[in-house]
Structure 1
C-alpha cells in the first residue's frame, strides 16, 4: 500500500477514533427528575455507538396496559405485541401528537389480538416501525390504554431512569444536538447544542409540564 492510501486510511479511522460520554438529566416543570423521557443525541461527526438500538421489541398488553409503557427502537425495528389478558385487544398506532388515531395519514398500523386462552401463551401479532419519531399506541376497545414507541434515526438514544438520567456513551467528539421527548410534553422542547469531548460531559433539559403519574 502506498503512502497516499495509508494516509487516507488513517484519516478515515481518525474520524471514528475519538469519542466521549454525555450524561443528560431531565427535569419536570417543578425541577424533579423525570423517568421514561427519551434523550436523543445527534452528533455532527460520524461514529459508531457502543451499542446499537434494538431492532426488535416485545410489548405486552396486560391488565389493560402496554408493558413497557415506552420503548426506544431503531428505524425498521419489528414490534411483537402479545395479549396476556383473557379478552380481546387491538393495537392501533399513529404518530404521537395527532388528535385522533389516523393510520392512513401517519403511516401507522392496526392489529387485532384475541384474548389469552387459559393455560396457554398469549396471542401475538407483529408490525414494523418504518418511520422515525414518536408512535402512540392505543386500543379501539379500551380507550384508557396508552403506550409509546420512540423510533430514533440516531443510534444515540436512551430512556431516562427513575433518577431522570440518561448516560450516552461513545459519542463522536465535536458539536452535537441534544433532543428530549416525553409522552406528556405536548410541545417540543427546543434542542440544546453541546460539544462532546474526551472529558465526560453533563447537560440538563427541563420539561414545561409535570408528567402524570402512571397507573400501576
Structure 2
C-alpha cells in the first residue's frame, strides 16, 4: 500500500511538472502581409533596468561571419554581448568590411583569406555591415544583452520558454535603417500566436556608400 502511494505521488508530481513546462512553452510565428515568414528574426523579452538578468560569460570560441559569392554568410548573425567574431573571406576577390553602427564602429581594410584578427562586440545592439568595394553586400550582427531571446526558423516560428508577455521583435526588413525593434504584448495563455508585421523596402543603395560616409549612422 505504501509503494502504491509513493508511485501515485510520483505520477502526480510528473503531471505537475509537465503542466509547468507547457505553461512556459509558447509558439510565436512572424509573417508579413503576404504571408511570408520572417526568417532569423529575433524575439527578446522587454525588460527594465531593474529586471536585467545577471551577465553571463560569452563563449570563448569566436563566431563566424564569412563572405561567400559577394554576400555575407550568414546574412544575420546573433551573438552574445562580449563575444568575438572573425570575418574570413572565402571569395577569390578582396573585401573591405566596415560598420558605422554605434555598438561597434570598425573596418577591416582590403583583404583576402582568413588571416584577419577577430573583432570583439562588447556592447549590445544591432550592427549593420557593409563592404566598401561591393555596395550590394549587407549583413547584420545582433548583439544580444542578457534578456532571454529567441531566433525564428525558416518558417518564421520560435518557441518561447518564458511567461513574460512584453516582447521586442527585430528583423532587418522591419525598418529602412534596419534598427527598429517593434514592441508587442502577448496574451497570458500559451496558445500559439501568429503576428503579422509590415515588411518595408530595403535601404537605398546610395545610403550605403563608404567613401561618402552615407551609410546610415546608428
Tell whether the structures are fold-level matches, with TM greater than 0.5: yes
Instruction: Tell me the CA shift for residue 183 of structure 1.
Output: 0.9
Residue equivalent to 1:202: 192
Aligned residues: 175
RMSD (CA atoms): 3.2
Rounded to whole Å, the distance in 2 between the matches of 1:70 and 1:46 is 25
Q: 1:24 to 1:53 in 2, by over 3 A?
A: farther
Residue equivalent to 1:112: 109
Residue equivalent to 1:38: 42
Instruction: Tell me the CA shift for residue 130 of structure 1.
Output: 2.0
Match of 2:78 among 69, 72, 81: 72
Q: 1:26 to 1:82 in 2, by over 3 A?
A: same
Deviation by residue 1:87-121 (Cα, 9 ceiling, x = unmatched): 221221233xxxxxxxxx664111135223xxxxx
Q: Give me the TM-score of the superposition, normalised by structure 1.
A: 0.67
Structure with greater proportional helix content: 2
Residue equivalent to 1:132: 124
Q: Give me the TM-score of the superposition, normalised by structure 2.
A: 0.67
Matched, 1:193 2:197: no
Rounded to whole Å, the distance in 1 between the matches of 2:107 and 2:39 is 28
Q: Which runs of 5+ in 2 are unaligned?
A: 1-19, 203-218
Asked which structure has the greater RCO (Cα within 8 Å, sep 6+), the reply is 1
Contact persistence 1:136–1:148 (CA under 8 A) = yes
Q: 1:54 to 1:31 in 2, by over 3 A?
A: farther
Instruction: Tell me the CA shift for residue 148 of structure 1.
Output: 0.4
Rounded to whole Å, the distance in 1 between the matches of 2:122 and 2:153 is 26
Residue equivalent to 2:25: 21
Contact persistence 2:77–2:142 (CA under 8 A) = yes
Match of 2:68 among 62, 67, 72: 62
Rounded to whole Å, the distance in 1 between the matches of 2:65 and 2:166 is 30
- Name the SS for the 2:65 alignment partner: strand
